[in-house]
Amino acid sequence: AQKVTQAQTEISVVEKEDVTLDCVYETRDTTYYLFWYKQPPSGELVFLIRRNSFDEQNEISGRYSWNFQKSTSSFNFTITASQVVDSAVYFCALSEDYNQGGKLIFGQGTELSVKP
């Protein structure tokens, strides 16, 4: 069965701290995709990254970095030197292969609060 678990419901940090958001997934497929989305207070989900199951290379984009480990079924997201504008709810999501229609299975979300 497909499942995404974000065990951290809320995280609060002070500006400039580094913070890691955890994501653990379950799937029986060998081909799947993992995503991170940001949902600011405005409510619109903003795409951050997509990673397929065959690419375990870590990725860095500015202050954001992602660590994909198939051995532990995890796809963690780190924000370096956090800023107040990073305050939002972050969702990890899983999508299985094309025949599943590409629907996203979301985790419960982690609410990040960055205080000045």
Site string for other proteins, 50-79 (x = CB under 8 A): x-----------------------------
From 3, 55, 49, 5, select the one nearest 31 (Cα to Cα): 55
Please report, for residues 21, 84, 88, 103, 109, the alpha-carbon distance to residue 9 in angstroms, rounded to integers and kept in the order given: 10, 18, 12, 23, 7
Site string for other proteins, 29-48 (x = CB under 8 A): ----x-x-x----xxxxxx-
110 contacts 86 by C-beta, under 8 angstroms: no
Q: Residue 88 or residue 109: which is nearer to other proteins going by CB?
A: 109
Q: Which residues bind other proteins (CB under 8 A)?
A: 4, 33, 35, 37, 42-47, 50, 91, 93, 95-96, 98, 101-104, 106-109
